[in-house]
Amino acid sequence: MADHYSPLFASILTSTLWQESYSTRLLWVTMLALADETDTVYASVPGLAFQARITEEECREGLNRFMSPDPDSRTKEFEGRRVKAVDGGWFLLNREKHRKRIFDKKAYQRLYMRKRRSKNMLDMESNENLTEPNKLVKLDHVDVYVDVNKEKKKNPLVFTIPDTLDTPEFLKVWSDWQMFRKEIKRAIAPSTAKRQLKKLETLGLSDAIATIELSIENGWQGLFPIKATERDNYSDRCVIDHKAGHKFQVNEKGEKLWLCKACYSAMKGTPWGRLNRGQIEDRVERAKRVQPRKSAMEEIHEI
């Protein structure tokens, strides 16, 4: 038995055929599946009933319904009849009409895609008069044209912090630098951030932090390597808020961990040389939260 494709439209659910009995509906779907390219179902009544899994009596009743006029049918050709008996089986009426519906849809889709491609080609030709950020570009993997800016918003460039700079101290300063650039309405583009991080990596961790702090303090939009004469001014900064250092302790690596007066006061003499920056910051924050609020006279006295 040849394998044929037969369309089954959703409109069948609202047709008069779907108001028939279960066996009649099952018989109709079976005949659609058995019909060959000439829209003919070659079978005997017992063989057709066996294929539809219904009784011969139900099969004969269904065939009579299909060959009888149907005044409520949406298809007025042949007075609403659906099949007619032929030599060796039955011929499905109006099946060619329903098949044409498929070809009409496919033709419409082809025409739609042809017009769309033509419009894209016109956009491509007028693309030369547009500025670079607004140009339309053709992607290699699909035959569509997209806005460059829109694609950048969907797939922003990703940059990573170099391993030598991936420390809590640098991440804090780098976050401050990004926030500073946003405040002056000069947000850092991903491509610019990659170049700046590559440049900072060559300076080393301490000089990279000092370079960023120097640019923020002076309101510069760019990063300029710190000079040797300025390096000492930034080597004794507080590891928490980068203010002028008041006291320091040396950690296991031999590095000086400076604290400003406020942070040193919050630590209340607790040794911090064996702590990392995150632990020091947590202790300072907890101490500040429990510290009693000073009166106005005390604040004036301190000033």
Judge whether 188 and 197 are in contact, CB under 8 Å.
no
Residue 239 has pLDDT above 50, yes or no: yes
Q: How far apart are CA 12 and CA 238, in angstroms?
A: 79
| SS3 sequence of 169-191 | HHHHHHHHHHHHHHHCCCCCCHH
Q: What span, in angstroms and rounded, lies between the C-alpha atoms of 178 and 197?
A: 12
- What single letter denotes the amino acid at residue 211? T
Give 40 or 97, the one with higher predicted confidence: 40
* Domains of the chain as residue ranges with CATH: 10-93 (1.10.10), 99-154 (no CATH), 163-302 (no CATH)
Q: Give CA 12 to chain center in angstroms.
A: 38
Query: At CA 21, angle to CA 16 and CA 26, rounded to 5?
Result: 90
Do the beta carbons of residue 145 and residue 130 sit within 8 Å? no
pLDDT over threshold 50, residue 154: no
Q: What is the pLDDT of residues 157-168, one digit of tens each?
A: 456 888 888 888
pLDDT tens, position by position, 98-113: 666 655 555 666 777 7
The pLDDT of residue 79: 87
46, pLDDT greater than 90: yes
Residue 155 has pLDDT above 50, yes or no: no
Nearest Cα residue to 22 out of 53, 50, 44, 43:
53
Q: DSSP 3-state assignment of 40?
A: strand
Greatest mean pLDDT among 38-52, 85-99, 121-135, 272-286:
38-52
Q: Which of 229, 223, 232 is nearest to 199 (CA)?
A: 223
pLDDT of res. 117: 75
Confidence at 297, pLDDT banded by 50, 70, 90: low
Question: Which of 153, 152, 169 minimizes the C-alpha distance to 161?
Answer: 169
CA 249 – CA 259 distance, rounded (Å)? 9
pLDDT for 248 equals 73
**Rounded to an integer, what distance in angstroms lies between the CA atom of residue 173 and that of residue 216?**
10
CA angle 246/238/217 to nearest 5° reads: 115
Predicted confidence band at 2 (pLDDT cuts at 50, 70, 90)?
A: low
Task: Please tell me which of 39-43, 119-123, 158-162 the model is most confident about, judged by mean pLDDT.
Answer: 39-43
- According to the model, what pLDDT value does residue 91 have? 92
Structure tokens belonging to residue 248? 């320091």
Q: Using N-to-C axis directions, what is the helix angle for 168-183 and 277-290, rounded to 10°?
A: 70
| pTM of the shown model | 0.34
**CA 91 centroid distance within chain:** 52
CB 135 within 8 A of CB 127: yes
Confidence of residue 74 (pLDDT cuts 50, 70, 90): confident
**Residue located via tokens 């609403």:** 80
Q: At what angle do helices 168-183 and 205-218 cross, to 10 degrees?
A: 20
Of the pLDDT bands very low, low, confident and very high (cuts 50, 70, 90), residue 142 is: very low
Question: In whole angstroms, what is the distance from residue 205 CA to residue 230 CA?
Answer: 16
64 pLDDT above the threshold of 90: yes
